[in-house]
Amino acid sequence: MKIDRPPLKCYVAAIRNASVDTILGEKGFSNGLIAFAIPDYGVLFRCRAEGTLIDLEFGAFFGLLEFIGSNLVSENIRSLNVVSSAPQLVFAFDGRSRLLTENSERKRLLKEYSAKYKLSISYLESISNRALWPPSEYPSLRQANLVRLEKSEKDFSRQRFMPFQKYARL
């Protein structure tokens, strides 16, 4: 008898500050941030990015799915419960939103990932969104729970030295 695993709970968030630190602004850094967290695996990812707030939210969402698809393959994850504190992102999946129109890149990506995973998305208040928590709030993982992230040849072929990345364009 096959036992279904419960959905993996993941968190996504995006922040777009009205202003950026003066020094970083002078160097061209973005004032947007995308973040996702997978607490069961001790993953917390954050990256500066440029775009509107909803673009950043979708960037965090699809970035999470890409990370799981490329780095947690050995875990055989089939079902995800993604939570966000952005109502606009959550309601974009109700089928009536203009944010996921047919023939759009977002819709194409959603169809691609929906074929791989059973996806559910729900709302969570910001204070409980673990993608926004500081790293010090995450407990250490037990040695038995550690997952080895394997690098593929694709990862090695695109590496280059970049001491600072200004932002990722979404």
pTM attached to this predicted model: 0.78
pLDDT in tens, 18-30: 776 777 777 777 7
pLDDT for the residue numbered 4: 75
The answer to whether the beta carbons of residues 22 and 46 sit under 8 Å apart is: no
* Domains along the chain with CATH numbers: 8-128 (3.30.420.10)
pLDDT in tens, 120-165: 999 999 999 999 998 877 776 666 666 666 666 665 555 555 555 5
pLDDT in tens, 81-98: 999 999 999 999 887 788
